[in-house]
């Protein structure tokens, strides 16, 4: 993939923002309310949704991979890589399909992405733990993904509205 | 802008919501089936994908079991009524916060320690109702 | 007028609905269970249906009655009276006469492999008292003189035996008790139940989910571990009785002796089998207190154990009795007759080899 300097800069900025959002998320621990291992708001998904529309699937995927790898390195926890990669890639795949269909609004796309993210995480947990115990949480995680997906959808919608008048997203 | 998204919910979004709900309901039905009516429940403790303990909870007086895995130590309290992780030195403490589980099919997961505590229902589904001889 | 018609209809509907609801409520499948110690063994009953507690009560009373009727050790049982009569004609009652008659029939049918007069020999081995010993051959030979149903005579409600002959209905009593359990379940219109009377099982109806009862056949190699099975049978409305040398045995000078004595030799049967399970239908409308298939299964399981694999299978093919068999052999095979082909399940981890014969 050949990137212009402008694109590269934008990707780097978005990656940094995604990482910052992941960090910010720690201050709103959803797992305190719902004690399920690995449950998160998924704020970094806002960046993914934005990149998907603004930059296209290729660069969005690039940002995602960079975010996962760097996140794992910063956290010093390579175990987390499996979880974020499986969750992230599943979510990305689903969102690409949903946005390509051109039928769903940004809400539908991010809800689909959030649900897929949870499925991917559960799959990663099953792989890591070597048994199917994590599946027990799947129904709750899917329910929660409706809310977190709607939240990221809302933030993304606001973001696009705000940026519509700027030239930032015009590549 | 490669493609500008629709910023207000559309009818198709309801479909996405319904699909997720249906998936949640289906998986709940599949995974949360009512516990077997014979109160007999077995707790299965695994670490790193390997089964460590299998404890029949029938008429069990409260017992604490220590599970060590990946440098963490979990204390699991088992009794006839329920199973819980009472203490763990893992960073997330999700396993402790999960609290007590009591029905077959329920489980406690500790990701950092890679430990699962899982309740298996009543008599094993393919076990006999009675034995002769 | 129109309104009152509507009201009547509504009332009718309400009554019907209430009736249906209460019928549903009454049909709740809460089983009644009871453990009973009778006839020298622990018995377990689990009974479903609206009349389950009444049926369990009746069943317990019946088992106590049978214990008093058939006991060889109680002072005032008719069996004890018969054993102490020293050859005199004794009134034992219709029921016991019928049971003695059935015992005679199965003894004849099995060529003496089942014999309720073997008691003196079993006593000499100490199985009834717990003081196990190996009797010397002369003693066994002289005791065998008294063994055989030809020494037992029946007439009306009376019976007499040649002096020295002793009657022990232990090999048939629990089978008869399961016949009586079936009779009680029928009388109380019990939809489903299980009765486990020490090696004798009655699987009445089906499981609550409508599938057959899953009856495990104990693995004779690990009698202490009730989770070790030789095979699993899916039974519906059936008696199943297992006899095996593993159930009671003792060691003497490095030799193991079990409690199933071959009436032909007076020694524990060395037939190459470790257990025999006999299965038969438990529904009989003409039972009316007579010994039925439960009694038959009990008698046959002992007899076929004594006979050994080959003779047992010959008996199965030619006797004309509607039974099915599971034979567990010393050399690690489980031989199943073809009527059970669809009803049995192999236990992979048991290590047995499975054969279906016809």
Q: What residue spans define the domains of chain B? A: 42-120
Q: Would you place residue C183 in the very low, low, confident or very high pLDDT band (cuts 50, 70, 90)?
A: very high
Which run of H or of E encompasses B69? strand B63-69
The C-alpha of C22 sits at a distance from chain B's nearest C-alpha, in angstroms, of 23
Task: Decide if A170 is inside a domain.
Answer: no
Q: Please list every residue in chain B whose beta carbon sits closer than 8 Å to the beta carbon of residue A169.
A: 1
Give the mean pLDDT of chain C. Answer: 86
- B22 inside 8 A of chain A by CB: no
Q: How many CA atoms lie within 13 A of A129 on its CB side?
A: 28
To test the contact with chain B by mutation, choose from C232, C276, C344 the residue with the greatest count of B C-beta atoms within 10 A, namely C232
The answer to whether residue A71 sits within a structural domain is: yes
Using alpha carbons, list the distances in angstroms from residue B15 to A101, A105, A114, A142, B74.
Answer: 13, 11, 15, 15, 43
Bridge pairing between strands C273-281 and B115-120: unpaired
- Structural domain includes residue A33: yes
Distance between CA atoms of residues C268 and C245, nearest Å: 8
Ranges of chain B whose pLDDT falls below 50:
1, 36-38
Tell me whether B20 touches chain A (CB under 8 Å).
yes
Q: Is C39 helix (H, G, I), strand (E, B) or coil?
A: coil
CA gap C32, C49 in Å, rounded: 9
Q: Which residues pair with B46 in a beta bridge?
A: B51, B116
Q: How many CB pairs under 8 A join A and B?
A: 144
Share of chain C above pLDDT 90, in %: 63
Inter-chain touch B132–C213, beta carbons under 8 Å: no
Give B128's contacts in chain C (Cβ within 8 Å). 214-216, 229, 232
pLDDT in tens, C28-53: 455 787 777 788 777 889 899 888 88
Tell me the CA distances in angstroms from A44 to A107, B8, C279, one per residue in order: 15, 21, 67
The answer, for B34 touching chain C at a CB cutoff of 8 Å, is no
CATH code where residue A144 lies: 1.10.1760.20
Q: What is d(CA C341, CA C16) in angstroms, rounded to the nearest whole number?
A: 46
What are chain C's domains?
32-357 (3.10.520.10)
Q: What is the pLDDT of residue A171?
A: 46
Q: Residue A72 sits in which domain range?
A: 5-163
Given this structure, which CATH class describes domain B42-120?
mainly beta
How many Å apart are CA C326 and CA C233, to the nearest integer? 10
Nearest CA in chain B to C246: B133
> Do the chains contact at C215 and B129, CB–CB below 8 Å?
yes
pLDDT in tens, A63-74: 999 999 998 888
- Domain assignment of residue A47, yes or no: yes
Identify the pLDDT of residue C28: 43
Helical pair A5-25 and A45-55, crossing angle rounded to 10 deg: 160
Chain A residues whose CB is inside 8 A of the B94 CB are 31, 35-38
In a domain, A171, yes or no: no
What count of other Cβ atoms lies within 10 Å of the Cβ of residue A104? 26
Residue A169 lies inside a defined structural domain of this protein: no
Predicted ipTM?
0.82
| CB–CB contact B131 C218 (8 Å) | yes
Q: Which of C212, C214, C348, C349 to mutate to test the interface with B (most CBs of B within 10 A)?
A: C214
Min mean pLDDT across A135-139, C334-338, C340-344 is at A135-139
C199 close to C246: Cβ distance less than 8 angstroms: no
Q: Is B125 on the interface with C (CB under 8 A)?
A: no
Contact B8 A103 (CB under 8 A): no
The reply to whether C302 touches chain B by the CB within 8 Å rule is: no
Q: Over 70: is that where the pLDDT of C74 sits?
A: yes
Q: How far is C54 from chain B (nearest CA, A)?
A: 22
Quick: pLDDT tens for A138-171. 899 999 999 999 999 999 999 888 887 776 655 4
Task: Report which secondary-structure segment, H or E, holds A53.
Answer: helix A45-55
C94 in Cβ contact with C157 (< 8 Å): yes
Which residue in chain B has the smallest CA separation from C229? B131
Number of domains in chain A: 1
Is residue A40 a part of any domain in this protein?
A: yes
CA angle C98, C104, C110 (to 5 degrees): 135
**A74 in a domain, yes or no?**
yes
């Amino acid at each position: 993939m050949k990137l212009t300097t402008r694109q590269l800069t934008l990707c780097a900025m978005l990656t940094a923002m995604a990482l910052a959002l992941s960090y910010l998320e720690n201050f709103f621990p959803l797992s305190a309310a719902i004690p399920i291992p690995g449950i998160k708001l998924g704020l970094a998904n806002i960046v993914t949704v934005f990149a998907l529309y603004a930059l296209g699937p290729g660069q969005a995927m690039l940002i995602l991979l960079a975010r996962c790898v760097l996140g794992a390195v910063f956290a010093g926890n390579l175990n987390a890589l499996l979880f974020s990669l499986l969750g992230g890639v599943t979510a990305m795949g689903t969102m690409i399909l949903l946005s390509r269909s051109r039928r769903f609004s940004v809400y539908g796309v991010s809800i689909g992405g959030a649900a897929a993210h949870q499925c991917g995480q559960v799959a990663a947990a099953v792989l890591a733990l070597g048994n199917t115990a994590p599946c027990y949480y799947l129904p709750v995680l899917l329910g929660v993904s409706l809310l977190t997906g709607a939240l990221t959808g809302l933030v993304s919608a606001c973001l696009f509205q705000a940026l519509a008048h700027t030239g930032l997203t015009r590549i | 802008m490669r493609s500008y998204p629709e910023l207000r919910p559309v009818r198709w979004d309801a479909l996405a919501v319904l699909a997720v709900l249906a998936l949640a309901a289906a998986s709940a039905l599949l995974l949360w089936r009512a516990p077997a009516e014979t109160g007999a429940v077995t707790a299965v403790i695994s670490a790193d994908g390997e089964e460590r303990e299998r404890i029949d909870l029938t008429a069990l007086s409260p017992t604490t079991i220590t599970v060590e895995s990946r440098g963490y130590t979990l204390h699991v309290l088992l009794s006839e009524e329920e199973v819980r992780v009472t203490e763990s030195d893992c960073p997330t403490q999700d396993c402790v916060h999960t609290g007590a589980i009591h029905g077959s099919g329920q489980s406690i997961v500790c990701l950092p320690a890679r430990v699962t505590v899982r309740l298996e229902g009543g008599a094993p589904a393919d076990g006999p109702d009675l034995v002769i001889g | 007028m129109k309104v009152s018609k509507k009201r009547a209809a509504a009332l009718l509907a309400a009554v019907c609905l209430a009736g249906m609801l209460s019928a549903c409520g009454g049909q709740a499948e809460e089983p009644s269970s009871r453990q009973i110690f009778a006839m020298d063994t622990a018995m377990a009953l689990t009974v479903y249906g609206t009349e389950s507690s009444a049926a369990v009560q009746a069943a317990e009373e019946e088992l106590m009655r049978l214990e008093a009727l058939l006991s060889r050790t109680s002072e005032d049982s008719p069996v004890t009276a018969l054993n102490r009569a020293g050859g005199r004609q004794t009134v034992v009652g219709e029921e016991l006469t019928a049971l003695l008659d059935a015992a005679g029939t199965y003894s004849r049918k099995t060529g003496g492999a089942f014999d309720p007069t073997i008691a003196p020999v079993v006593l000499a081995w100490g199985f009834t008292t717990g003081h196990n010993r190996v009797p010397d051959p002369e003693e066994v030979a002289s005791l065998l003189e008294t063994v055989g149903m030809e020494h037992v005579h029946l007439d009306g409600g009376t019976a007499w035996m040649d002096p020295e002959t002793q009657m022990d209905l232990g090999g048939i009593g629990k089978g008869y008790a399961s016949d009586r359990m079936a009779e009680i379940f029928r009388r109380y219109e019990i939809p489903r139940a299980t009765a486990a009377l020490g090696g004798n099982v009655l699987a009445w109806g089906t499981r609550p989910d409508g599938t057959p009862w899953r009856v495990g056949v104990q693995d004779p190699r690990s009698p202490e571990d009730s989770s070790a099975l030789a095979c699993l049978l899916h039974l519906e409305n059936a008696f199943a009785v297992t006899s095996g040398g593993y159930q009671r045995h003792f060691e003497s000078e490095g030799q193991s002796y079990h409690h199933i004595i071959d009436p032909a030799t007076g020694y524990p049967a060395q037939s190459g089998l470790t257990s025999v399970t006999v299965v038969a239908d438990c529904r009989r409308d003409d039972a009316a207190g007579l010994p039925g298939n439960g009694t038959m299964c009990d008698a046959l399981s002992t007899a076929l154990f004594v006979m050994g694999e080959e003779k047992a299978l010959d008996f199965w093919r030619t006797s004309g009795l509607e039974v099915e068999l599971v034979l567990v052999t010393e050399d690690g095979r489980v031989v199943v007759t073809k009527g059970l082909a669809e009803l049995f399940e192999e236990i992979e981890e048991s290590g047995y080899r499975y054969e279906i014969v016809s």
